[in-house]
Structure 1
Amino acid sequence: MDPSSASADGGNPAKAAETAARPRGRSAPRNPERTAASILAAAIREFAEKGFDGARVDVIARRAGTNKRMLYHYYGDKEALYLRVLEEAYGSIRFAERRLDLARRDPEEGIRELALFTWHYFVDHPEFLSLLGTENLMKARHLKRSATISAMHSNFITELSAVLQRGESMGVFKKGLDPIDVYLTIAALGFFYLSNRHTLSTIFRRDLEAPDQIHHWGEHVVATTLAAVKA
């Protein structure tokens, strides 16, 4: 190893890995956070497209503009990276849901907005559904090891439960609604449609990916969910 490189890196393993990953003859500012984010983004695409077994670490590194040494430095092995991808996928939808501000909305409006948000999130983020499908095939083997996933969803369910309880106290929602049942209703209506859109479009000779059909189904999800919860 070049002594000058060791001195420049100050003995920092992350900086040393950055230096090794950088193409020779080029100078670039060290940015570990950006490198880690690039690896994660590339991993999301690779795992969504090819599943866990089909995804390759060297392809992820190449997509991220780095090498496997950097990938292993930041995320460990393939399984650890895949778990981080799952946590990022779930974290993104939970974070986006906060913008709905359900606690400040009229209960009926809140459920409508949650249903529409979930539907359009699924439409706009096919990688999310692909990752869920892959992990379900493996019976949530990786997700069970997550230290953060339960708390992430617990906060969401607590907020949804508060909306349902307010609706109940106002006499507009049924008594004793289970927030998990309500969310499963919303998610199932969207997931089944999108997961089977190609076969269903062929069977029924209706283009389920057409914009008017996407809009129509979103309104159907809302109507079905409200019918299930209203008193």
Structure 2
Amino acid sequence: MSKAEISEAVDHEDVPRRSWKQDPDGVRANILQVAREAFAQKGLSGTRIDEIAARTSTSKRMIYYYFGDKEGLYLEVLADAYRRTREAEDALELEGLQPEEALRKIAEFTFDNHRRSQDFIRLVMIENVHEARHMPGSVEMSGENSSAIRMLEDIYARGLEAGIFRPGLSAVELHWHISALSYFNVSNRATFSHIFGDELFSEEGQNTLRRHVGDMILRLVLV
């Protein structure tokens, strides 16, 4: 799409939408947020670009300009969702904590963050149905997720040095266990609560499960 076509596409919108011409980053962020909600609700095949455009502050034409096509938008939504999760982890400031305290904090944070970011979990569920066909390249994804691994490597190394963590584990294994314990709480909530009731999904129940996640991870690593 040429610059003239972009201008024409935007100029055909109403006055509030024309103001987005001066804020391309805002346009892009708005599209990603709306698309994230849509894809999490309906998946890739069930979502239509027309529906996304109707809920954004821009046009269908501009969505194609930024992301190419629906699959390109979906791929960027996935990458952005992982990126946001890593950024939240990077803000934890674990360096000054004792190893066991730092490991509990990241485990319990992951439980809470997954609970707050249910769209993220649903996107991951949908992409697993697609056998990770639309995921960004492995190099890009490993780069996005390397900060989480480095964080766990540092905590685990400090715990080994202090003699309180047992040897023989890896940061990737720890990341798997933490993710698994936190993921199920969101991914299987509907079926689990349908069978067993909602008690574990009350505020008290969630606080208990969060503490269990921290306890289990520490029992895995402590000598």
| 1:207 paired to 2:199 | yes
1:43–1:85 contact (8 Å) kept in structure 2: yes
Counterpart position of 2:61: 69
Larger radius of gyration: 1
The AA in structure 2 aligned to 1:78 is K
CA distance in 1: counterparts of 2:210 and 2:170, whole angstroms: 22
Instruction: Please name the residue that 2:218 is paired with.
Output: 226
SS of structure 2 residue aligned to 1:65: coil
Shift of 1:66: 2.3
* Secondary structure of the corresponding residue to residue 95 of structure 2: helix
**Partner of 1:88 in structure 2?**
80
Question: Which residue of 14, 22, 36 corresponds with 1:23?
Answer: 14
Change (3 A) 1:169 1:24: closer
CA distance in 2, matches of 1:27, 1:201: 46
Change (3 A) 1:184 1:27: closer
> What's the counterpart of residue 145 of structure 2?
153
| Structure 1 SS opposite 2:167 | coil
1:41 is displaced (CA, Å) by 0.9
Structure 1 stretches lacking a partner, 5+ long: 1-8
Residues 27/174 of structure 1: CA separation in 2 closer, same or farther (3 Å cut)? closer
Higher alpha-carbon deviation: 204-213 or 141-150: 141-150
| Count of residue pairs the alignment pairs up | 221
- Cα distance, 1:139–1:35 mapped onto 2, change above 3 Å: same
Q: Taking structure 1 as reference, are residues 138 and 29 closer, same or farther at Cα in structure 2, changes over 3 Å only?
A: closer
1:27: Cα distance to partner?
A: 6.0
Equivalent residue for 1:124, pick from 116, 139, 157: 116
C-alpha distance in 1, partners of 2:18/2:38? 28
How many angstroms apart in 2 are the aligned matches of 1:156 and 1:66?
35
Residue type of the alignment partner of 1:23: D
Matched, 1:40 2:25: no
* Aligned-residue offset at 1:130: 0.3
Q: What RMSD over aligned residues (CA atoms) do the two structures have, in Å?
A: 2.1
Cα gap change, 1:149 to 1:60, in 2 (>3 Å)? same
| 1:208 counterpart SS class | helix
Measure, in 1, the Cα distance between the counterparts of 2:96 and 2:37: 35
Structure 1 distance, partners of 2:151, 2:36, is: 28
Task: Report the CA distance shift for 1:192/1:214 in structure 2 as closer, same or farther (over 3 A).
Answer: same
Residue aligned with 1:101, SS: coil
Aligned counterpart, 1:5:
none
Residues 143-170 of structure 1: per-residue CA shift (max 9 Å, x gap)? 1436621111123212211110110010
Runs (4 or more) in structure 1 with deviation over 3 Å come to: 11-17, 24-29, 144-147
Say which is worse superposed, 131-140 or 98-107, in terms of deviation.
98-107
Q: Percent of counterpart pairs with the same letter? A: 36
Q: TM-score, normalised by structure 1?
A: 0.88
| Deviation per residue, 1:22-79 (Å, 9 max, x gap) | 2279863622222211111110010011011111111011111322111001111011
TM-score, normalised via structure 2 length: 0.91
State yes or no: 1:140 paired with 2:135. Answer: no
CA distance in 1, matches of 2:71, 2:17: 32
Look up the equivalent residue of 1:130 and give its one-letter code: R
